[in-house]
């Protein structure tokens, strides 16, 4: 395997896929013989759009979020917005969330397909995922919208604002938007050259969310253990915000 096919921490794609499958086997997934080889034939680092998510398949990221236990209890209509491999969807289902109330949406099938190959559950969950290039849901459709590691991949300012506004519009009044993103640690003045395209400071992120209409915004620094090899000026921000019941649309 060439250098190009290795992650920054040195793990190769084959090892990363094998480790992901080990984690999933521990969680009860049963693979047919030769499954790893079949999956390896389908994927290279070039067609895994966000390679690092392979390292984190079934790593309990959403479940560590400070709002997760509340989100599970809410049992409302739930959208995983920018779902990637769909880890969050599987964690919710594993924790008893009603499947008819969960949807995963992304702009591309690539990571969703990889997720279904790794979880070997295409038949069971295929209908929960939706891909279009335009946000497909009507306003006020969801009680909860989750965003896992999406903010930091959206470089373009207008696209980022649009992402937040769709999340806001899709929520019912009183609905909750929660998730996590890489950001700049408090006290860091400017980003280093390494890292994803968008790295915001806490206040900057709060400002964007307020501009999209969110209120009661909480941002906490989360667990860094899921980001091996990341620069020390980066951190994981966990956020939670509300669409107020009587939103003044004029103040966006
Ligand atoms: C780093 S991956 C994270 C995936 C998953 N949420 C997770 O936690 O593993 C970021 C995902 O956001 C999606 N994404 C980026 N921009 C988006 C947008 N404007 N609307 C919806 N999804 C978007 C990407 O396609 C990708 O699947």
pLDDT tens-digit profile, the chain (252 residues): 344 557 766 778 889 999 999 999 999 999 999 999 999 999 887 778 787 788 889 888 999 999 999 999 999 999 999 999 999 999 999 999 999 999 999 999 999 999 999 999 999 999 999 999 999 999 999 999 999 999 999 999 999 999 999 999 999 999 999 999 999 998 887 787 678 999 999 999 999 999 999 999 999 998 876 666 678 889 999 999 999 986 555 455
Which stretches of the chain are assigned E, i.e. beta strand?
A: 78-81, 102-106, 129-131, 142-148, 171-184, 215-221, 234-242
Helix axes 35-42, 110-119, angle to 10 degrees: 170
- Predicted pLDDT of residue 2: 43
Q: DSSP letters of 93-122?
A: HHTT--GGGEEEEES-SHHHHHHHHHHT-H
Q: Compute the residue count for the chain.
A: 252
Cβ atoms of 145 and 120 within 8 Å: the answer is no
Give buried/exposed letters for 37-48 (b at 16+ CB in 10 A, else e): eebeeebebeeb
CATH code at 139? 3.40.50.150
Question: Is 71 part of a structural domain of the chain?
Answer: yes
Question: Is 115 part of a structural domain of the chain?
Answer: yes
113 lines ligand 1 (CB under 6 A): no
- Boundaries of domain holding 160: 48-251
d(C-alpha 184, C-alpha 8), whole Å:
19
Cβ atoms of 110 and 47 within 8 Å: the answer is yes
Two tokens, residue 13: 């794609």
Report how far ligand 1's centroid is from the alpha carbon of 189 (Å): 27
- Pick from 92, 145, 153 the residue to mutate for probing ligand 1's pocket: most ligand atoms within 8 Å of its CB: 153
Question: Is 34 part of a structural domain of the chain?
Answer: no
Chain centroid to Cα 98, Å, comes to 20
- If one counts every other C-beta atom within 10 angstroms of the C-beta of residue 102, the result is 23
Nearest residue CA, atom 22 of ligand 1? 82
163 lines ligand 1 (CB under 6 A): yes
- Predicted pLDDT of residue 79: 98
- Give the residues across from 252 on adjacent strands: none
Backbone φ, ψ for residue 171 (5° rounding): -85, 145
Question: Is 37 part of a structural domain of the chain?
Answer: no
Question: Is 3 part of a structural domain of the chain?
Answer: no
Question: Is 226 part of a structural domain of the chain?
Answer: yes
Long-range Cβ contacts of 205-210 (<8 Å, 24+ apart): 205/151, 205/181, 205/237, 205/239, 208/160, 208/161, 208/164, 209/164, 209/177, 209/239, 209/241
- Give the count of domains, the chain: 1
Report how far ligand 1's centroid is from the alpha carbon of 8 (Å): 20
Report how far ligand 1's centroid is from the alpha carbon of 108 (Å): 9
- Pick from 49, 50, 82 the residue to mutate for probing ligand 1's pocket: most ligand atoms within 8 Å of its CB: 82
Question: Is 104 part of a structural domain of the chain?
Answer: yes
108 lines ligand 1 (CB under 6 A): yes
- Predicted pLDDT of residue 195: 80
- Predicted pLDDT of residue 226: 64
Question: Is 14 part of a structural domain of the chain?
Answer: no
């Amino acid at each position: 395997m060439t250098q190009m096919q290795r992650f920054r921490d040195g793990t190769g794609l084959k090892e990363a896929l094998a480790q992901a499958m080990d984690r999933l086997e521990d969680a009860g997934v049963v693979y047919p013989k030769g499954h790893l080889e079949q999956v390896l034939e389908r994927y290279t680092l070039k067609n895994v759009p966000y390679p690092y998510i392979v390292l984190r398949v079934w790593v309990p990221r959403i479940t560590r979020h400070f709002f997760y236990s509340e989100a599970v209890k809410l049992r409302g209509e739930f959208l995983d917005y920018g779902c990637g491999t769909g880890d969050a969807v599987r964690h919710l289902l594993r924790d008893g969330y009603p499947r008819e109330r969960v949807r995963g949406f992304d702009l591309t099938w690539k990571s969703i397909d990889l997720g279904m190959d790794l979880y070997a559950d295409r038949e069971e969950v295929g209908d929960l995922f939706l891909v279009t290039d335009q946000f497909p849901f009507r306003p006020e459709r969801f009680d909860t919208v989750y965003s896992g590691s999406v903010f930091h991949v959206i470089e373009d300012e207008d696209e980022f604002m649009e992402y937040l506004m769709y999340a806001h519009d899709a929520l019912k009044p009183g609905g909750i938007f929660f998730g996590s993103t890489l950001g700049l640690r408090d006290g860091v003045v400017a980003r280093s050259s390494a890292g994803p395209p968008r790295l915001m400071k806490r206040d900057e992120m709060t400002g964007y969310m307020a501009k999209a209409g969110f209120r009661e915004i909480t941002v906490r620094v989360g667990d860094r253990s899921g980001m091996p090899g990341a620069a020390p000026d980066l951190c994981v921000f966990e956020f939670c915000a509300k669409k107020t019941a009587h939103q003044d649309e004029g103040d966006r």
